[in-house]
Amino acid sequence: MIAYLDCYSGISGNMFLGAMLDAGLSWSGLQEMLALLPVEGYQLCREPVEQGGIHGQRFEVILENPDQPERHWSEIRQLLEDAPLPSRVRERALAIFRTLAEAEASVHGVAPEEVHFHEVGAVDAIIDIVGAAIAIEALGIKQLYASPLPLTSGMVKTAHGLLPVPAPATLEILRRVAAPWRPCPAEGELVTPTGAAILATLARFELPAIRIERVGYGFGHRQLPWPNCLRLCLGMAERVEGTAGEELDRDWVTLIESNLDNTTPELLGALMDELLAAGALDVTFSPLQMKKNRPATLLSVLARPEQSEELARLILRSSGTLGVRLQQMQRLKAQRQQEELLTPLGPVTIKVKRLGERVVSAAPEYESCRRLAQERGLPLSTVYELVEQCLNATLYSQGQTQAQADGFALAGDSPLAEEKSEH
Whether residue 286 contacts residue 300, with contact meaning beta carbons closer than 8 Å, is answered with yes
Task: Label the pairing between strands 2-6 and 143-146.
Answer: parallel
Whether residue 318 contacts residue 304, with contact meaning beta carbons closer than 8 Å, is answered with no
2.40.160, 3.10.20, 3.40.50, 2.60.40: CATH of 335-417: 3.10.20
User: According to the model, what pLDDT value does residue 422 have?
Assistant: 36
DSSP per-residue codes, 192-240: -HHHHHHHHHHEESS---EEEEEEEEEE-S---SS--EEEEEEEEEPPS
User: According to the model, what pLDDT value does residue 345 have?
Assistant: 87
Amino acid identity of residue 83, one-letter, is: A
Whether residue 42 contacts residue 124, with contact meaning beta carbons closer than 8 Å, is answered with yes
All CATH 3.10.20 domain ranges of the chain, comma separated, are 335-417
Distances (CA, A) of 160 to 27, 65, 117, 169: 35, 20, 11, 12
Distances (CA, A) of 192 to 134, 156, 368, 372: 20, 10, 49, 55
Whether residue 297 contacts residue 290, with contact meaning beta carbons closer than 8 Å, is answered with no
Sort residue 305 into left (φ over 0), alpha (ψ -120 to 50) or beta.
alpha
Handedness of CA 29, 32, 33, 39 (dihedral sign): positive
Could you tell me how far CA 231 lies from the centroid of its own chain?
21
Amino acid identity of residue 199, one-letter, is: L
Whether residue 152 contacts residue 188, with contact meaning beta carbons closer than 8 Å, is answered with yes
Q: What is the pTM of this model?
A: 0.61
Mean pLDDT by 10 residues, the chain (423 residues): 96 97 97 93 94 96 77 87 92 90 81 63 86 96 94 80 87 91 92 95 90 96 95 84 59 88 91 94 94 91 87 93 86 81 87 79 88 91 90 63 36 35 36
Sort residue 283 into left (φ over 0), alpha (ψ -120 to 50) or beta.
beta
User: According to the model, what pLDDT value does residue 342 have?
Assistant: 86
All CATH 3.30.70.1380 domain ranges of the chain, comma separated, are 249-333
Task: Mention the CATH class of domain 249-333.
Answer: alpha beta
Separation of alpha carbons 165 and 144, rounded Å? 25
